[in-house]
């Protein structure tokens, strides 16, 4: 077995589950009245996004008819660098970070005059100081400014926008069928993890947080929305379904955060994101977080954010931590056995394969040699995927064998090893996979298994990903 060792800093990024088509031209009417419907459509199929079209600047958009409200001039309604929106009762500045984490923190909560219930909830979780991206973006976000946050995986950006929204919502009251704030994410798994992080904090402040994602009961989501929700965490496809069915209206959604905007673009969700933003108040606040802010994401920013303030805690090409990269050449017949042997090491491990059948085979072989392993792929129901992720998080399962699409929603700290059982298709996928490790400033190891026939392809991908021999 030949071995090549690599050591580098690799940019970390991740994405999400298979997108969903919305049917027709992928749009929904602006006439999104909330209320009871006797015949609601049950939507349980996996989410698909329409094929991404070339972004258009709002100034040159053609007339789109009655299904979309006209966006008024926002220049006199949005804050500028020298002004801000009227303050909301109970809103105070927030910063967040966990004691003992490896990322450098800045300041303390006491310096931001955080509302007492939220401050107590943070301290109860052992959270005492902000991460850099949180300390940088929260003052502007709390003041009502539009914010661009550029940060890598594990930097704390989820709570950066989440805490800002909770602070601005504090003291208000939920309205039936009309969420007050919205978080858009590309995948179901990411939506659930964002909700897991924010729900305890929201409860402490008397706020309701709910997820609206595909693969779950449409009717139950509709019932929850009718009762009133302060903050909705949603995937674009399922939220569009609720708007079309009249179970959710966005006319009072004054705050919107778009997370993983670069992955939204990669998955073809930006047209739906635009439709959703067009249905929210034109004077509303926009928070956008992404690993990159160029291309289609840059166009989205230009169209929907007014005088945004940009914060970046690290260069886009930097990694959240140092990764050790290794390449092992093995015979095709030995791949699964080698993968099982590597996965038997202590600690959390994610192994990537290309197909769901291969994921099942590798996981089964690992279990046969005594390794607690589970497969995660699109062939499993949402409930099964949730159980697998829960077992991986709490340690009952130490090795997760996943396909690329299913793994894009995995955001678990303390994953110390990533194994490419099947080499990735390109450098971008390599970095997405590698981004499962080296989170929150920790170290990580990435191993690629290749057959002799894959040698040149793997070498090219490694070079394009910035992985070079030490």
pLDDT tens profile 346-370? 889 999 999 999 999 999 999 998 9
Burial 7-24 (b: 16+ CB within 10 A, else e): ebbbbbbbbbbbbbebee
Averaged pLDDT for residues 436-448: 79
At residue 168, the pLDDT reads 92
Rounded average pLDDT over 30-57: 42
- Answer yes or no: do 300 and 352 share one domain: no
Contact predicate 238/47, CB 8 Å: yes
Task: Give residue 323's pLDDT.
Answer: 82
Residue 210 CA to residue 178 CA, distance in Å, equals 13
Predicted structure pTM score: 0.64
Considering the domain architecture, whether residues 290 and 183 belong to the same structural domain is answered as yes
Residues 288 and 394 placed together within one structural domain of the fold: no
Taking only the tens place, the pLDDT of each residue in 154-172 is 677 888 899 899 999 998 9
On whether residue 383 sits in a domain, the answer given is yes
Percentage of the chain lying above the pLDDT 70 cut: 72
Structure confidence by residue, pLDDT tens digits, 249-261: 999 999 999 998 9
Domain boundaries, position 404:
321-464
Tell me what pLDDT residue 14 has. 34
174-208 per-position pLDDT tens digit = 999 999 999 999 988 889 989 999 999 999 999 99
Name the domain boundary from 279, 312, 345: 312
Residues 98 and 123 in one domain: yes
The 10s digit of each residue's pLDDT in 236-248 is 999 999 999 999 9
Which of the pair, 257 or 408, is modelled with greater confidence? Answer: 257
What CATH number is given to the structural domain containing 115?
3.40.50.300
Give the pLDDT of residue 427: 82
Domain count along the chain: 2
Q: What is the pLDDT of residues 278-321, one digit of tens each?
A: 999 999 999 999 887 888 999 999 999 999 999 987 544 445 34
pLDDT of residue 269: 94
| pLDDT score, position 440 | 61
**Is the pLDDT assigned to residue 72 strictly greater than 70?**
no
Q: Are residues 374 and 400 in the same domain?
A: yes
202 within 8 A of 209, measured Cβ to Cβ = yes
Q: Give the end of a domain, one of 312, 342, 365.
A: 312
Pick the closest to residue 52 from 404, 295, 303, 405 (CA basis): 295
Averaged over 382-405, what is the pLDDT?
A: 89
pLDDT for position 309? 95
Q: d(Cα 75, Cα 446) in Å, to the nearest integer? A: 48
Q: How many CA atoms lie within 13 A of 339 on its CB side?
A: 35
- Shared domain check, 344 and 262: no
Q: Which residues contact 18 (CB under 8 A, 6 or more apart)?
A: 46, 47, 48, 378, 405
Q: Is the pLDDT of residue 74 over 80?
A: no
């Amino acid at each position: 077995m030949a071995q090549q060792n690599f050591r580098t800093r690799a940019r970390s990024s991740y994405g999400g589950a298979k997108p969903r088509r919305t049917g027709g031209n992928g749009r929904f009417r602006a006439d999104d009245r909330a209320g009871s419907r006797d015949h609601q459509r049950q939507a349980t199929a996996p989410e698909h996004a329409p094929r991404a079209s070339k972004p258009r600047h709002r100034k040159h958009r053609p007339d789109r008819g009655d299904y979309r409200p006209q966006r008024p001039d926002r220049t006199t309604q949005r804050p500028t660098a020298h002004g801000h929106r009227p303050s909301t009762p109970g809103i105070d500045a927030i910063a967040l970070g966990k004691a003992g984490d490896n990322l450098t923190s800045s300041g303390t909560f006491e310096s931001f005059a955080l509302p007492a219930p939220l401050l107590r909830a943070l301290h109860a979780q052992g959270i005492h100081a902000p991460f850099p991206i949180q300390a940088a973006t929260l003052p502007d976000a709390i003041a009502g400014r539009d914010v661009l946050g550029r940060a890598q995986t594990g930097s704390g950006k989820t709570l950066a926008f989440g805490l800002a929204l909770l602070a601005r919502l504090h003291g208000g009251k939920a309205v039936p069928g009309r969420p007050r704030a919205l978080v858009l994410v590309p995948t179901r798994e990411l939506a659930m993890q964002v909700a897991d992080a924010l729900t305890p904090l929201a409860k402490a402040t008397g706020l309701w947080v709910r997820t609206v994602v595909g693969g779950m009961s449409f009717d139950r989501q509709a019932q929850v929305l009718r009762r009133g929700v302060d903050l909705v965490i949603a995937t674009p496809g399922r939220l569009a379904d609720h708007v079309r069915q009249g179970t959710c209206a966005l006319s009072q959604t004054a705050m919107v955060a778009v997370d993983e905007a670069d992955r939204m673009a990669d998955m073809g969700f930006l047209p739906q994101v635009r439709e959703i933003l067009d249905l929210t108040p034109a004077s509303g606040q926009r928070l956008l977080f992404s690993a990159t802010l160029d291309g289609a994401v840059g166009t989205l920013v230009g169209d929907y954010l007014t005088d945004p303030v940009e914060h970046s805690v690290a260069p886009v090409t930097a990694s959240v931590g140092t990764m050790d990269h290794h390449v092992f050449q093995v015979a095709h017949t030995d791949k699964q056995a080698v993968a099982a042997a590597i996965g038997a090491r202590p600690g959390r491990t994610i192994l990537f394969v290309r197909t769901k059948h291969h994921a099942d085979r590798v996981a089964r072989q690992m279990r046969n040699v005594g390794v607690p392993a589970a497969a995660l792929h699109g062939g499993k129901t949402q409930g099964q995927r949730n159980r697998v992720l829960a077992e991986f998080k709490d340690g009952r399962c130490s090795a997760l064998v996943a396909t690329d699409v299913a793994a894009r929603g995995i955001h678990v700290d303390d994953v110390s090893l990533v194994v490419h059982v099947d080499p990735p298709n390109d450098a971008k996928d390599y970095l997405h996979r590698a981004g499962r490790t080296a989170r929150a400033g920790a170290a990580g190891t990435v191993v690629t298994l290749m057959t002799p026939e894959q040698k040149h392809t793997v070498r090219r991908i490694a070079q394009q990903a910035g992985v070079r021999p030490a």
